[in-house]
Amino acid sequence: MANKEPKVRVQNLTKKFGDLLVLDNLNFEVEEGEFLCIVGPTGCGKTTFLNSLTRLYQPTAGEILVNGIPVDPKKQNISYIFQEYSSFPWLTVEQNIRFGLEIKKIPKEEADANVEEMLDIVGLTKFRNYYPSQLSISMLQRVAIARAFATKPELLLMDEPYGQLDIDLRFKLEDELIKLWKKTGTTVLFITHNIEEAVYLSQKIMVLTNKPTSVKTVLDNPLPLPRDVVSEEFVALRNKVTDLIKWW
Amino acid sequence: MKDKKKFQINKYIFISILSICFGIFVWWLVTDGLGIFRSNALPSPVKVFESFIKKWYETKPDGATLLEHLIASLQVALGGYVIGAVIGIPLGIFMAWNDKIDMCVRPVFDLVRTIPGVAWTSVMVTLVGIGFLSKALVIFISAMVAMVINSYSGIKQTKTVHLWVGQTFGASNWELLTKIAIPSALPMIFTGLDVALGSAWTTLVAAELLASTKGLGFMIQQARGIFRLDIVIVGMIVIAITGAVLSTIIQWLGRKMIKGGRT
């Protein structure tokens, strides 16, 4: 038994949709401030996994503890960045970023300061009064990132947030993400099917099996930041992860 | 850039006016111009225009001036319409949001909505007599149907991911409704307001044909009885213009209220 309670503890997490077993008895822990990437074969239930974690889906069995108590978005400060574009079209960039702060009833002065800081970090200060319909796709995803970070979450969940971006933008936003993670010290669970992305971002990589999904293994990623995608160590780790998720 | 846009709008207005003028010209051609229709079968535009001017101060043949008829109609239509909005929009929203309310109200609503509003006229007349209330109730029913249907589908079309954003931030059910579902349904709610306005206005005229002592529909009905087709057409034109003006007001209001475009 570890002396310090982990940030997230998942015990026997199981999820069935009818007779279909999607998540099969998952057990793992995430330490405070850790950046964990979750990779797995396509369609292995990665999104189901994250959605069960936030109670968007009710797990069939098992327990998810955050700071030692069952997860509840009303009590714990969680943010989630979704795969789809999730900015509210009826709110401006600034109002979108402020959304979580309003739900959490953060005092106005603190909220203002957070919003300004986030606008600055994602470089959207000039676009604060624009509506999502007036923005490009990468700007939309930045709004979602800024909205998620604005509440200074203790746990940040990301579900393939960059899956639909081209490679230039992806690297740029990944660097931004690392910068934000270092600055805020938040715990991040990042789902991706892109192995290079996982090796580029993570401190730990969790590999999931094919459906019914369980944890195959968890690898440490000791490479120093910032990472060089063509270095020998990077390629070696990437190949190792690739071999682990091969289903062919 | 701005000048160009202004030019585009001006061009659009110009073409609209042109097409209306063309319509009037054809009308003139088949009546006074070529004499295809006799004036007691289809009065010419000139004759209708004269009657239109006269009707502002003359009470013959139906006992009231055009303005009195128009005000009477507007009172009934807007009265029923506003009550329809006040009840219909929340009803549609809560039906879509709460399954229990949906299950209770839905069966009745599904039956009611297939009945044309006018069909209620005789029932209402026997219940509350000829007058403001019976017509307002008929209009209330037909306006409400459009508002319920549109607010209902507006709420139902709320994107799941938007609700998820709220849920993961810890929003309560009420916050999910008021901060996410309703703002995202707003464009549909305004479509409902516009559609309901149309059905309120058409139902009104039909209801006035059956049960009335004043109003544009009543005026048309009286004029028809004595073959004053010029007044019938005056009535039709006033109905058309008023309907268009009301609809423009609703659309303008919608543009003011709906932020970020209809996406």
pLDDT (average), residues B223-233: 88
Q: Could you tell me which chain A residue has the CA closest to the CA of B178?
A: A103
CA distance A222 to chain B (A): 31
For residues A100 and A174, what is the distance between their CA atoms, to the nearest angstrom?
A: 22
- Statement: residue B262 has pLDDT above 70: no
pLDDT band at B245 (very low <50, low <70, confident <90, very high): very high
Task: Find out whether A51 and A57 touch, Cβ atoms under 8 Å.
Answer: yes
- Which residues from A are below 8 Å from B260, CB to CB? 89-92, 131-133
A181 Cβ contact list (under 8 Å, min separation 6): A35, A188
Q: What is the pLDDT of residue A215?
A: 83
pLDDT (average), residues B140-150: 91
pLDDT (average), residues B214-228: 88
Chain mean position to CA B46? 29
Give the other-Cβ count within 10 Å of B137's Cβ: 22
- Statement: residue B153 has pLDDT above 90: yes
Beta carbons of B259 and A91 less than 8 Å apart: yes
The shortest CB-CB distance from B168 to any of A80, A132, A133 is to A80
For residues B162 and B174, what is the distance between their CA atoms, to the nearest angstrom?
A: 14
For residues B143 and B89, what is the distance between their CA atoms, to the nearest angstrom?
A: 10
Q: Which two tokens stand for residue B87?
A: 């009840």
B155 Cβ contact list (under 8 Å, min separation 6): B92, B93, B96, B97, B181, B182, B185
Q: What is the pLDDT of residue A1?
A: 43
CA neighbor of A77 nearest in space, from A182, A162, A157, A159: A157
Give the other-Cβ count within 10 Å of B11's Cβ: 10
Q: Could you tell me which chain B residue has the CA closest to the CA of A129?
A: B260
Q: Which two tokens stand for residue B141?
A: 């029913």
**Separation of first and last alpha carbons in chain B:** 24
Q: Which two tokens stand for residue A86?
A: 């999730």
- Statement: residue B97 has pLDDT above 90: yes
Q: What is the pLDDT of residue A2?
A: 47
For residues B169 and A76, what is the distance between their CA atoms, to the nearest angstrom?
A: 9
For residues B219 and B179, what is the distance between their CA atoms, to the nearest angstrom?
A: 47
For residues B82 and B139, what is the distance between their CA atoms, to the nearest angstrom?
A: 10
B249 Cβ contact list (under 8 Å, min separation 6): none
Q: What is the pLDDT of residue A4?
A: 67
Beta carbons of A131 and B259 less than 8 Å apart: yes
* Dihedral sign computed on CA atoms, order B106, B110, B116, B121: negative
Beta carbons of B259 and A103 less than 8 Å apart: no
Facing residues of A219 across strands? A205
Task: Find out whether B95 and B152 touch, Cβ atoms under 8 Å.
Answer: yes
A24 Cβ contact list (under 8 Å, min separation 6): A14, A212, A213, A214
Sequence spans of domains, chain A = 1-76+154-248, 84-153
Instruction: Tell me the residues of A at the B interface, defined by beta carbons under 8 Å apart.
Output: 54-56, 72-76, 78-80, 82, 84, 86, 88-92, 99-100, 102-104, 131-133, 147, 151, 157
CA neighbor of B186 nearest in space, from B154, B149, B152, B153: B154
Q: Could you tell me which chain B residue has the CA closest to the CA of A54?
A: B168
CA distance A56 to chain B (A): 7
* Dihedral sign computed on CA atoms, order B97, B103, B105, B106: positive
pLDDT (average), residues B130-139: 86
For residues A156 and A33, what is the distance between their CA atoms, to the nearest angstrom?
A: 10
pLDDT band at B195 (very low <50, low <70, confident <90, very high): very high
- Statement: residue B263 has pLDDT above 60: no
Spell out the per-residue pLDDT of chain A, length 248, in tens.
445 678 888 888 888 888 888 888 888 888 888 999 998 877 777 788 888 888 788 888 888 888 888 888 888 888 999 888 899 999 999 999 999 999 999 999 999 999 999 898 888 999 999 999 999 888 888 899 899 999 989 889 998 888 777 788 788 888 888 888 888 888 999 998 888 888 888 888 988 888 788 888 888 888 887 888 888 888 888 888 888 887 65
Task: Please give the CATH topology (third level) of the domain spanning A1-76+154-248.
Answer: Rossmann fold (3.40.50)
DSSP secondary structure letters along A182-205: HHH--EEEEE-S-HHHHHHH-SEE
- Which residues from A are below 8 Å from B165, CB to CB? 80, 82, 86, 88, 99, 147
Q: Could you tell me which chain B residue has the CA closest to the CA of A92?
A: B260
Burial class of residue B93 (count of CB atoms within 10 Å of its CB; 0-12, 13-18, 19+): buried
Beta carbons of B184 and A100 less than 8 Å apart: no
- Which residues from B are below 8 Å from A76, CB to CB? 170
Give the SS3 label for residue A104.
coil
- Which residues from A are below 8 Å from B180, CB to CB? 88
